[in-house]
Amino acid sequence: MIDIKDAKHGMHVFYQREPMRTPEYGTIIRTNESDCSNPSRLMVFVLFLWDSTPKACRPDDLYWPPDYCAFDDVNPAGQKFSKPEEMPDAH
């Protein structure tokens, strides 16, 4: 999962919850961190591939892409990456 304090516009994330077999990849558009006083209602708004409007997601359901997805000059500055043990299917 990601920490909402690290969620910045343009960063890449993926969404995955049970029973999804494959994740949905997208780009962070914004968060409601500055507008929300209730921690359980904090949301990250993500524009997923093939969508035309961003969706509100709980930070607990989002993950940074794995570090092997890092290609030169493709990721935004400051992009965070998950370690293998942080991935949703890690055992």
pLDDT tens string 4-55: 999 999 999 999 887 878 889 999 999 998 887 787 889 999 999 899 999 9
Confidence of residue 69 (pLDDT cuts 50, 70, 90): low
Confidence of residue 81 (pLDDT cuts 50, 70, 90): confident
Q: Tokens for 90?
A: 């890690």
Question: Mean pLDDT across the stretch 59-77?
Answer: 77
Q: Does the pLDDT at position 71 exceed 80?
A: no
Question: Which residue in this structure is represented by tokens 């991935």?
Answer: 87
Longest Cα–Cα distance of the chain, Å, equals 38
